[in-house]
Amino acid sequence: MGDLNKLTIEAARDGLRAKDFTARELTQSCVDAAESSKPLNAYSVVTADQALTMADAADARLTQGDAPSMCGIPLGIKDLFCTEGVASQAASNILKGFLPQYESTVTTKLWNEGAVMVGKLNMDEFAMGSSNETSCYGPAVSPWRKSGDDAALTPGGSSGGSASAVSADLCLAATGTDTGGSIRQPAAFTGIVGVKPTYGRVSRWGVVAFASSLDQAGPMAKSVKDAAIMLEAICGHDPKDSTSANMDVPDFEAALTGDIRGKKIGIPKEYRLDGMSAEIEALWTEGADKLKAAGAELVDVSLPHTKYALPAYYVIAPAEASSNLARYDGVKYGHRAELTAGDDIDDMYSKTRAEGFGDEVQRRVMIGTYVLSAGFYDAYYVRAQKVRTLIKRDFEQVFEDGVDMILTPSTPSASFGIGAMAQADPIEMYLNDVFTVTVNLAGLPGVSVPAGLDSNGLPLGLQLIGKPWGEAEMLNAAYALEAASGFVAKPEKWW
Amino acid sequence: MSIDVKTAARVAHLARIQVDAQDLPELAGQLSAILGFMEQLNEVDVDGVEPMTSVTPMAAPLRADEITDGGIQERVLANAPDAREGFFSVPKVVE
């Protein structure tokens, strides 16, 4: 029973039901892979004992028959999700030692279906980053390397541990979260599928908050079908999240027919950036041609406010983060600084936060504080929220004109070296999100699908953007694109 | 908008993050660069545009005003750095 960890959810589900292997064997295979993957630094914790206990429960359920699709499927969970009694610290020193007394809604739904937790996954601190380098655990490393070069590359961020773990077969799939591209960019960098659902589709309850009006959790998986299966398991109304939509959850897997004849796919001209690499440009054109060959109609569209999405995002997200992160004050949980005689409560707050937050988090909290402060609120925050209205309106116009979904590159480049951006301006790192951040601002669903390798042998992804609540249709087009791309490359094992 | 050292110190104070005086110039420079990037938003004509308050059109849900939780003092305090006699403990607040 070698290599069970390399299975897809779909294949594992069928194998478990056919009694070809047990959930315990499958889980053991993932635990072994996770425990022997230290150079990837993908896991912050491997919960081996808990995983095997959960696997045994799944086996009992499978024996009884009628087990859900996710029953017995070993998953990695991003460290941003609260998991009861298991360290959950959003890759921040300020939450060191925090053991949640409750379970997030997303993970509760997965465990109710019988899924198995292999462990918690590395990420950028509080999901703020695009390379996993802001993590208090140190960077997660991509299993991919440039051909003929053994330099460590980033799996992207913020869900970098999730991307690394799925790509390296250290679990069958993983949870991620996406505030500006944190599922789709790492998925693109590591040759996997990542879905950011419509805002409100997945409950945010029990997920450490970064920017509440933008955050959505979603699946990171080895195929579009796996992503559809897992997405269905985590969706649904949750009274504990007041922004959770009270809507029926479609059967996403059944929607994957691969038939996209007559669908109108928009190609937005504003995503053709000055100085964009020829490889990304070619990938995009080839992807569009493949969808056309499958019967879709290509339509040139315009999203005129695209260039203002990143600056609007970098007002709104830090503003929300500065208020969300006010709760880390050394009182209720996590780290508290050592105080000296005469220190008052303000000293406790400011020393605790200086010690507990890393540089990027401090920077964003301070930017957020500034743009919300008296005298600047209208000039920055209110203006950014007006621009956000215009960005959403751009998409609404395109959809009203009959376009069914939009095709873009996922990222402006392939993965880059760990440390390569160390001397760069913070804004250069922010540019990683240029193609993904509009989707969060407009509350839309988006999926990154692996579409090819660049000249260095590194994966590149294409993004499909759907209508609000249009995940089923979007995933079906992603399924057609996946089939047409025939992406089967895997990283060669070196870790 | 350029941020000087004095403004950086004020923002750090408002955010309750201690920053050493020697680190303030670099911080001011970084904050200025990020704010400079945001200046692009001034190019957009936003006259008559409503600022977004909710990305999906939905009314805030209401529920009955009932006690649905409670009696979990130990769990609430379980992660506190300093909890005493059923309370969170902090340095003296009132002189």
Asked if A152 and A418 count as a contact pair (C-beta separation under 8 A), the reply is yes
**What is the pLDDT at residue B57?**
83
Residue indicated by tokens 């559809």: A228
How far does the CA of residue B39 sit from the closest CA of chain A (Å)?
8
> Between B35, B43, B56, which is nearest A468 by CB?
B56
pLDDT at residue B34 above 60?
Answer: yes
> Between A242, A349, A441, which is nearest B61 by CB?
A242
Asked if A218 and A203 count as a contact pair (C-beta separation under 8 A), the reply is no
- B22 contacts in A (CB within 8 Å)? none
- B3 contacts in A (CB within 8 Å)? 370
Residue-wise pLDDT for A382-427, tens only, equals 999 999 999 999 999 999 999 999 999 999 999 999 999 988 888 8
Residue-wise pLDDT for B36-71, tens only, equals 999 999 999 999 999 999 998 888 888 899 999 999
Question: What's the rounded mean pLDDT across residues A167-187?
Answer: 98
Asked if A156 and A415 count as a contact pair (C-beta separation under 8 A), the reply is yes
**What is the pLDDT at residue A158?**
97
Could you write out the DSSP letters of every residue in B44-62?
S--TTPPPPS-SS--PPP-
CB pairs under 8 A between A and B: 167
A450, β-bridge pairs: A461
**What is the pLDDT at residue A325?**
98
How far does the CA of residue B77 sit from the closest CA of chain A (Å)?
7
> Between A101, A348, A380, which is nearest B91 by CB?
A348
Minimal-distance CA residue of chain A relative to B95: A344
pTM, 2 dp: 0.97
Q: Which helix (H) or strand (E) holds A364?
A: helix A359-372
Interface of B with A in 60-89 (CB under 8 A): 60-61, 63, 72, 75-76, 78-82, 88
Interface of B with A in 23-42 (CB under 8 A): 27, 30-31, 33-35, 37-42
Residue-wise pLDDT for A26-70, tens only, equals 999 999 999 999 999 999 999 999 999 999 999 999 999 889 999
**What is the pLDDT at residue B25?**
96
Contact A308 B14 (CB under 8 A): no
How far does the CA of residue A384 sit from the closest CA of chain B (Å)?
7
**What is the pLDDT at residue A1?**
52
Contact B55 A347 (CB under 8 A): no
Contact B38 A330 (CB under 8 A): no
Strand boundaries in A251-296, DSSP class E: 264-268
CA angle, corner A365, sides to A364 and A368, nearest 5? 85
- B14 contacts in A (CB within 8 Å)? 369, 373
- The torsion angles phi and psi of B13, rounded to 5 degrees, stand at -65, -45
Q: Which helix (H) or strand (E) holds A348?
A: helix A345-356
**What is the pLDDT at residue B1?**
61
pLDDT at residue A274 above 90?
Answer: no
ipTM > 0.90 (yes/no): yes
Residues of A marked active site are found at 78, 158, 182
Tell me the domains of chain A and their CATH numbers.
4-260+476-485 (3.90.1300.10)
Strand boundaries in A155-312, DSSP class E: 173-178, 193-196, 216-221, 264-268, 297-301
Residue-wise pLDDT for A138-155, tens only, equals 999 999 999 999 999 999
Residue A363 pLDDT level (bands cut at 50, 70, 90) = very high
- Please give the share of chain A, as a percent, with pLDDT higher than 70: 100
**What is the pLDDT at residue A275?**
80
Minimal-distance CA residue of chain A relative to B91: A345
Identity of the amino acid at A292: K
Identity of the amino acid at A270: E
Closest CA to A356 of B78, B88, B17: B17
> Between B11, B31, B88, which is nearest A332 by CB?
B88
Residue-wise pLDDT for A311-331, tens only, equals 999 999 999 999 999 999 999
Question: What's the rounded mean pLDDT across residues A89-108?
Answer: 98
Asked if A162 and A220 count as a contact pair (C-beta separation under 8 A), the reply is yes
Contact B17 A362 (CB under 8 A): yes
Report how far residue A240's alpha carbon sits from residue A207's, in angstroms, rounded to the nearest whole number: 12
Q: How many Cβ atoms sit within 10 Å of the Cβ of residue A267?
A: 19
Contact B41 A427 (CB under 8 A): no
> Between B7, B40, B93, which is nearest A311 by CB?
B40
pLDDT at residue A13 above 60?
Answer: yes
Asked if A93 and A189 count as a contact pair (C-beta separation under 8 A), the reply is no
Q: Is B59 on the interface with A (CB under 8 A)?
A: no
- A312 contacts in B (CB within 8 Å)? 41
Q: Is A174 helix (H, G, I), strand (E, B) or coil?
A: strand
pLDDT at residue A293 above 70?
Answer: yes
Report how far residue A112's alpha carbon sits from residue A55's, in angstroms, rounded to the nearest whole number: 13
Q: Which residues fall within 8 angstroms of residue A249, CB to CB, at 6 or more apart?
A: A232, A235, A236
Residue-wise pLDDT for A236-264, tens only, equals 999 999 999 999 999 999 999 999 999 99
Q: Which helix (H) or strand (E) holds A447?
A: strand A446-453
pLDDT at residue A306 above 90?
Answer: yes
Contact B93 A344 (CB under 8 A): yes
Closest CA to A386 of A288, A463, A305: A305
How far does the CA of residue A365 sit from the closest CA of chain B (Å)?
7
Minimal-distance CA residue of chain B relative to A332: B80
Question: What's the rounded mean pLDDT across residues A107-124?
Answer: 98
Q: Is A19 helix (H, G, I), strand (E, B) or coil?
A: coil
Q: Is B19 on the interface with A (CB under 8 A)?
A: yes
> Between A353, A380, A442, which is nearest B17 by CB?
A353
- Please give the share of chain A, as a percent, with pLDDT higher than 90: 95
pLDDT at residue A133 above 70?
Answer: yes
